[in-house]
């Protein structure tokens, strides 16, 4: 095992302790000597480990004091959140809380994209969208379901709509959210809390609306928003079940997502 692999592995172990709250914000991290002793490495390698944690955005360096734990949830950006979420898998309650926040962000972006595209004179070739939904349907009917492949198709459809709408920043956030989700298999699986066939039916219905001249009524739009919200509640609850979070915690987070 190379030195860089050792550095990365130990940095992930320490980062996981930050993610799960074992090291609280403001705490002084173990010193270079303590890291070296715990993991059986020399002090130069231990210094690299702590330096990598700083590059991750998990700790701050203070001359003469060492490294202190950052409040990564409060002060961290998407890059920090992306690293935090997979590391939280060993703490179901923390992971459920983070997943609910991810779903809440994704829900706003996707819902806005779908509604804005419905109101706009969209320029995406309908054949391109139909081909994507056809591919999704073929995967949904397969004997072995490939949840990652199905979710990737849906993310790509939304990415296409956002590009057509000129919504660059929401697309960038969606890309980061997608990267976080695909690193955690339970998160991908949770997005199919409802049957994959239902996903296909919803996309077919949206395609029909986009191709119609009349468009949806206000009542239909309101109903769609309500159903979209209920779907995401099920997604959050399903993730809690898959990772073993308490039922009460999962339900509570689903209500606030």
pLDDT tens track for 221-254: 898 999 999 999 999 999 999 999 876 554 444 4
Whether residue 69 is found in the same domain as residue 88: no
My answer on whether 67 and 96 are in the same domain is: no
Percent of the chain with pLDDT over 90: 68
If asked whether residues 112 and 238 sit together in one domain, one would say: yes
* Stronger pLDDT, 167 or 248, i.e. the higher one: 167
Residues 41, 66 share a domain: yes
What's the chain's average pLDDT?
89
167 and 213 both lie in a single domain = yes
Q: Kindly report, residue by residue over 9-20, the tens digit of the pLDDT.
A: 999 999 989 888
CA dihedral 221, 223, 225, 226 (to 10 degrees): 170
Are 169 and 237 part of one and the same domain?
Answer: yes
Residue-number span of the structural domain to which 182 is assigned: 78-256
At residue 3, the pLDDT reads 58
Q: Is residue 103 domain-shared with residue 62, that is, in the same domain? A: no
| Whether residues 132 and 177 fall in one domain | yes
Cβ atoms of 130 and 102 closer than 8 Å: no
Residue 28, classed as helix, strand or coil, is strand
* Element at 68 (helix H, strand E): strand 66-69
pLDDT value of position 253: 45
Domain boundary among 75, 107, 131: 75
State the sign of the Cα–Cα–Cα–Cα dihedral 106, 108, 111, 112.
Answer: negative
pLDDT in tens, 44-92: 999 999 999 999 889 999 988 889 999 987 877 788 888 888 888 778 8
pLDDT for the residue numbered 167? 96
Do 144 and 19 fall within a single domain? no
CB 85 within 8 A of CB 102: yes
pTM for this predicted structure? 0.82
Tokens of 217: 């009524």
pLDDT given for residue 103 in this prediction: 95
Which of 75, 101, 126 lies at the terminal end of a domain, its last residue?
A: 75
């Amino acid at each position: 095992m190379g030195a860089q692999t050792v550095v990365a592995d130990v940095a992930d172990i320490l980062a996981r302790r930050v993610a799960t709250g074992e090291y609280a914000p403001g705490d002084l991290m173990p010193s270079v000597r303590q890291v070296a002793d715990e993991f059986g490495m020399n002090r130069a390698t231990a210094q690299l480990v702590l330096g990598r944690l700083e590059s991750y955005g998990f700790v701050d360096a203070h001359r003469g004091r060492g490294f202190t734990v950052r409040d990564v949830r409060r002060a961290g950006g998407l890059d920090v959140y992306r690293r935090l979420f997979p590391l939280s898998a060993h703490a179901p309650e923390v992971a459920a809380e983070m997943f609910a926040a991810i779903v809440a962000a994704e829900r706003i972006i996707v819902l806005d994209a779908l509604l804005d595209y419905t109101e706009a004179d969209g320029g995406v070739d309908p054949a391109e969208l139909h081909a994507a939904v056809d591919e999704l349907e073929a995967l949904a009917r397969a004997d072995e379901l490939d949840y990652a492949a199905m979710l990737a198709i849906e993310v790509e459809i939304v990415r296409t709509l956002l590009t057509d709408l000129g919504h660059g920043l929401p697309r960038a956030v969606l890309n980061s959210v997608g990267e976080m989700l695909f690193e955690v298999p339970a998160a991908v699986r949770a997005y199919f809390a409802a049957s994959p066939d239902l996903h296909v039916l919803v996309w077919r219905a949206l395609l029909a609306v986009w191709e119609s001249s009349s468009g949806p009524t206000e009542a239909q739009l309101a109903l769609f928003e309500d159903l979209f919200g209920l779907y995401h509640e099920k997604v959050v609850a399903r993730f809690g079940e898959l990772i073993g979070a308490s039922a009460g915690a999962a339900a509570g987070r689903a209500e606030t997502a």
